[in-house]
Amino acid sequence: MTSAAPAAPLDVADELLALLRDTTTEPRPDPQLEALCLAVTADLPVLLWGEPGIGKTAALTHLAEALDLPLTTVIASVHEPSDFSGLPVVGDDPAEQGVPMAPPDWAVRLVRAGRGLLFLDELSTAPPAVQAALLRLVLERRVGALRLPPGVRIVAAANPRASAADGWELSPPLANRFVHLQWIHDHEVVVRGLGGTWPRATLPRLDPAELPGAVAFARRAVCGLLAARPTLVHRLPDNEARRGGAWPSPRSWETTLRLIAFATASGSSRDVLSALVRGAVGDGPGLELLASLDRLDLPDAEDVLADPEGALLPERGDLRQAVLDAVVAAVRARPEKARWDAAWAVLARALRTGAPDLVVVPATTLASLRREDWDVPESVERLADVVSLSRRADEAAARAAVPAKVSR
């Protein structure tokens, strides 16, 4: 009986490599991965910014596997402009038929598949001529005379200029076409991933019943902010580096509107929405929009006055303060005894369920609105001590400040 022939050294090595590549996934909260998945679902081009070796390419590989999409990787910096704009091919009679622009093979494969994830890597090392050729691909999804099918999603990755090999700043027209996401590593994710378990990339689940309301909410949010802050409609940064990132324009506000609608319909977290909005229009305008979204979620002052005990008061102190101020303002606009009493009931409830200092200013203002023939409700007695204590504290602070000024 003959013994089995020993395995070839490379066969054993391949077996070991296969074991090392054998990993699994788990559902794990990961805001940056959730933001990426939502932007991909919304069919928006995404640009991942991160230092070399941070895991951008690995994240895209896991995303393509989880979504069952064929991954096509194109290293932008090693291609010529004609690889994206198309190669001219002379036909039988150019005067009659023109000169068509032939697409590269990777674009043809994507069209034949009808779906896929196009990964444009090393975007910040692509020279300006290549970046200009990419404009049509990213915005119009055209490569030469070929149009990519709707089932193809586009994601790019770039290193900051300081850490990129022969890096270039992105041109403003190209940068303004992307949703910019900062990609950082979470050491717990890395440790579990090296142990064989990575976070699972999943598409957000959109609630069909929420779609009309999500669109209305997104339009109200964006249009409301831009109506109040018209200078935010278009603001090209002065700094060259910031021009290569997210900044507000009509195009990026349209992107933001779509992101808010998708995030609302899918019930995405505040962290995910924050990353997406700031990645579309920049940190400053994005934070202003997020603040306005908070105000849109606040209960209407009239609804609170109609049901002082049942109306929902926000937990966050700044939002609760805004609701209490709005209730007092509503009473000032239409002073009536029943409305005045209801406002006191709201303040008393706020005192029971939150920080006492939040009711001091609204209570003082509401007290000044009293008419001579209005009886003081019982709830005022519970608020009187808080207001009085606050005033005594202010007076003590003022007295303490006087000797300090004199000693100086």
Q: Is the pLDDT of residue 348 over 60?
A: yes
Greater pLDDT, 371 or 250: 250
Rounded Cα distance, 80 and 87, in Å? 10
pLDDT score at 90 = 61
Strands (E), 80-204: 87-88, 101-102, 115-121, 142-143, 146-147, 151-158, 179-182, 197-199
pLDDT digits (tens, 9 = 90+) for 93-102: 555 655 666 7
**What per-residue confidence (pLDDT) applies to 395?**
47
If we measure between CA atoms, which residue out of 342, 355, 357, 332 comes closest to residue 310?
342
Nearest to 164 by CA among 293, 285, 54: 54
Q: Which of 142-146, 326-330, 343-347, 378-382 has the lowest mean pLDDT?
A: 378-382
Report residue 81: phi and psi, to 5°. -55, -35
- The answer on pLDDT for 2 being more than 70 is no
Entry field: residues in the chain:
408
Q: Which fold has domain 27-86+101-199?
A: Rossmann fold (3.40.50)
Given a cut of 80, is residue 85 above it in pLDDT?
A: no
- The Cα–Cα gap between 203 and 38 comes to 7
Name the percent of the chain lying above pLDDT 90. 29
Q: What is the reported pLDDT for 320?
A: 87
Mean pLDDT of the chain: 84
What are the residues whose beta carbons fall under 8 Å from the beta carbon of 214, sequence distance 6 or more?
A: 260, 261, 262, 264, 265
pLDDT at 179 over 50: yes
Average pLDDT, stretch 268-296? 91
Q: Are 146 and 38 in contact (CB under 8 A)?
A: no
Provide the pLDDT for residue 139.
86
C-alpha 114/C-alpha 111 separation (Å) is 5
Instruction: Please state the pTM of the whole predicted model.
Output: 0.75
| 180-186: average pLDDT | 89
| Phi/psi-derived region of residue 398, left when phi > 0, alpha when psi is between -120 and 50, beta in every other case | alpha
**How many Cα neighbours within 13 Å face the side chain of 83?**
14
Domain ranges of the chain: 27-86+101-199, 208-296, 301-407
